[in-house]
A = this chain, B = another copy of it.
Amino acid sequence: MIKFAEKPLEAVLELLGQRGVYTILRSLQNGSLRFGALQQVTALPPRTLSLRLKELEELGLISRTEHHEVPPRVDYTLTERGRGLEPALEALARWEEKIG
């Protein structure tokens, strides 16, 4: 895996190329979401979703907030750095429309 510290862009692209990651980022543009919700929109098995979320956290694109309640509740939010990717995500979305 490419290290963010060395090649931030390549690291992000590598992660964006993984299943569900683009969908996760786009979904979070509308606000925080919980693990379960992300599972539904991405259709990823829990193990895989968990891995992707951890990687997104490591790259500083999302943050994890744990609410100490019963039942447990955790939600994920775009960070400032994550929001910085929005123009790129938008450009990609527009490209898709054009050729779809």
Q: How far is the CA of A91 from the CA of B86 in the complex (A)?
A: 9
Looking at chain A's contact residues, the main secondary structure is: helix
Interface presence of A33 (CB below 8 A): no
Q: How far is the CA of A98 from the CA of B19 in the complex (A)?
A: 26
Count residues of A near B (Cβ-Cβ below 8 Å).
28
Known: A13-B21, A14-B17. 13 other contacts (CB 8 A): A8-B100, A9-B22, A10-B19, A12-B92, A13-B16, A13-B17, A13-B92, A15-B17, A17-B18, A85-B95, A87-B94, A88-B88, A90-B91
Interface residue ranges, A against B (CB under 8 Å) = 8-10, 12-19, 21-22, 81, 84-85, 87-88, 90-96, 98-100
